[in-house]
Each structure stands twice: as C-alpha cells, then as structure tokens.
C-alpha cells in the first residue's frame, strides 16, 4: 500500500489526500471547544434561571409570615451579595456561591416549628478567631434592625 500523504508546497502543511492539514484540524478543534463552551455557558444560565424560578416558586407557596420573611431575605441577599445565586437547599430557599449554598431559610410553618430558621452552611465565611460563630438564627418576624444584622452576616458569609 502506498503512502497517501502529500505536501501542499509550503513545506510544513502535510496533509492526507482529500484530508485536512494540521492547522485546519487545530482550527476545527479550537472552534469545537468554543462551541462547547458557549453551549455550557448557555446551559449554566438556563440552570441559574431555573434555580431562581424554583426558589421564587417555593417562596410563593409559603404561608405568611414565612413568605414575607423569605421575600425580604431574597431582597437582602440580592442587594448585599449579588454573587450569591438562588438555589433550593433541601427543598427550601438558599443562596449559593460557586454552586455551594452559603445561606438558607427554613420555613418554621413548613417544618411545623414555632419559628423559622436563617442558616449558614459550612461554605459561609463566618469563622471567628475566638472559635465561636453563628450558624443559624431563629426567626418569627423580621424587623429593620434584624434585616440590618442579616445583611452584615450575609456580606461576611459570602466572603
């Protein structure tokens, strides 16, 4: 069997007869990678939108006063830590950074408890030099002072 490789006259653009040169294959590979990255970005944006819709739907399904507290938490997080994205966390509203939930809200009414919970996961940057820091708070209503405290905690937690 004879070798079907020929040169195109440029010296370094060897290609199979009827095939593509190394440069052409590299360009196609690069374009393929670009298309995959674009598709992945599109999928990520679709997932983020779906996650946000799921959280909003969960909040809308809550009974008062939990719904009002969750809506206010959503606004606080969006305002002070826009890098935290809504994501359901064990079926409850949460806000994540790089896919890991940092802060979450558990409905007390949904859990048949006397209070709801604002919590922070291990991904939260709340560590204190004294070795003691908050991981959750009981909520039965949310005042302006409470909202201010939460905003400070969320900023710190988001790192």
Mean pLDDT estimate for the chain: 87
Percent of the chain that is helix, strand, coil (3-state, to 5): 45, 20, 35
| pLDDT value for 111 | 85
| pTM for the full predicted model | 0.73
Tens digits of residue pLDDT in 40-62? 767 878 888 999 999 999 999 99
DSSP letters of 96-146? EETTEEEEEEE-TTTTT-SSEEEEE-TTS----TTS---SEEEES---HHH
Give the integer Cα–Cα distance in Å for 25 and 20: 6
- What percent of the chain lies above the pLDDT cut of 90? 66
pLDDT higher for 32 or 1?
32
Give the integer Cα–Cα distance in Å for 66 and 142: 10
Domain 30-158 belongs to what topology?
3.90.1150
Q: Which two tokens stand for residue 50?
A: 């779906």
Q: Give the three-class secondary structure for 7.
A: strand
Tens digits of residue pLDDT in 109-128? 988 999 999 999 999 999 99
Boundaries of every domain in the chain: 30-158
Mean of the pLDDT values across residues 10-23? 66
pLDDT band at 11 (very low <50, low <70, confident <90, very high): very low
Tens digits of residue pLDDT in 127-138? 999 999 989 999
């Amino acid at each position: 069997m004879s070798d079907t490789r020929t040169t195109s006259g440029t010296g370094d653009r060897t290609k199979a007869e009827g095939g593509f040169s190394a440069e052409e294959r590299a360009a196609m590979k690069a374009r393929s990678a670009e298309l995959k990255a674009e598709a992945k970005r599109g999928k990520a944006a679709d997932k983020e939108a779906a996650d946000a819709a799921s959280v909003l739907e969960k909040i809308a399904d809550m009974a008062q006063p939990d719904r009002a507290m969750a809506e206010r938490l959503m606004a606080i997080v969006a305002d002070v830590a826009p890098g935290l994205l809504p994501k359901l966390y064990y079926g409850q509203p949460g806000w994540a950074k790089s896919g890991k939930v940092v802060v979450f809200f558990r409905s007390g009414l949904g859990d048949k408890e006397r209070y709801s919970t604002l919590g922070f996961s291990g991904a939260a940057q709340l560590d204190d030099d004294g070795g003691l820091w908050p991981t959750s708070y009981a909520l039965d209503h949310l005042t302006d002072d409470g909202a201010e405290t939460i905003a400070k905690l969320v900023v710190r937690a988001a790192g």
